[in-house]
Amino acid sequence: MAGSSEKLPSDGRGVVIKDNWPGYDLNLFTYPQHYSGDLEYVLIPHGIIVDRIERLAKDIMKDIGYCDLMVLCVLKGGYKFCADLVEHLKNISRNSDQFVSMKVDFIRLKSYRNDQSMGEMQIIGGEDLSTLAGKNVLIVEDVVGTGRTMRALLSSIRTYRPNMIKVASLLVKRTPRSDSFRPNSHLRDQ
């Protein structure tokens, strides 16, 4: 992405795609034929996503140290990202002299009914969250939009007194409604 990306000014952990970035020509890639006519360009090639997820895993292990981890995957969108990230985390653990135990649980967040905000967030699924007490928690989310839902989730999880909470996100949207929440690790701004 030479010439189209820059480091995030705040923490250097992500790739910023500028608003005027035209994307990559479709002729450079293969894609499912049923998308023909619907796609104009490729914004982020799969290889870049794979490489960034691997780097995120390395950054996470560096940040948290080699300690046991409880991964909370925010469904539905976070599933594939979470699976790939956990696989990279496991590979790092396997190839080190210290084993990191990881347990994965799945939650859904509901803050909207139809298209209207309910004013509060519900956590659906997951084990009894009181089991997070004293644990190192990694929340994995696909997209952070305004940040309000993630802040509400963090506030709720803090009541269970985990040892540490980190957030990894594949994408962070640039939106005027943002409350400037940034995950600890993320791929890029959208």
Residue 159, SS3?
Answer: coil
Positive or negative, the CA dihedral 66, 188, 31, 51 is: negative
Domain 45-189 has CATH 1.10.150.120: no
Could you tell me whether strands 164-172 and 69-75 are parallel, antiparallel, or unpaired per DSSP bridges?
Answer: unpaired
pLDDT for position 57: 93
Burial class (CB in 10 A: 0-12, 13-18, 19+), 11: exposed
- Tell me the pLDDT tens digit for each residue of 72-131: 999 988 899 999 999 999 999 998 888 888 999 999 988 766 666 556 777 888 778 889
Positive or negative, the CA dihedral 7, 187, 18, 11 is: negative
- What is the residue-averaged pLDDT of the chain? 81
pLDDT for position 5: 35
pLDDT for 179 beyond 80: no
User: What is the DSSP secondary structure assignment for residue 24, as one 8-state letter?
Assistant: B
Could you tell me whether strands 136-144 and 102-113 are parallel, antiparallel, or unpaired per DSSP bridges?
Answer: unpaired
> What is the Cα–Cα distance from 70 to 153, expressed in whole angstroms?
15
Radius of gyration of the chain (CA): 18
pLDDT for position 180: 59
pLDDT for position 120: 73
Reported confidence tier of residue 24, pLDDT bands at 50, 70, 90: very high
Percentage with pLDDT > 70 across the chain: 80
pLDDT for position 25: 93
- Tell me the pLDDT tens digit for each residue of 7-16: 334 455 577 8
- Tell me the pLDDT tens digit for each residue of 125-157: 877 888 999 999 999 998 887 778 888 889 889
pLDDT for 189 beyond 50: no
Q: Where are the domains of the chain?
A: 45-189
**Model-level pTM?**
0.80
> Which tokens sit at 136?
């190192």
CB-side neighbour CA atoms (13 Å) of 142? 13
Alpha helices in the chain, H assignment, sequence order: 46-64, 79-94, 148-158
> What is the Cα–Cα distance from 74 to 106, expressed in whole angstroms?
6
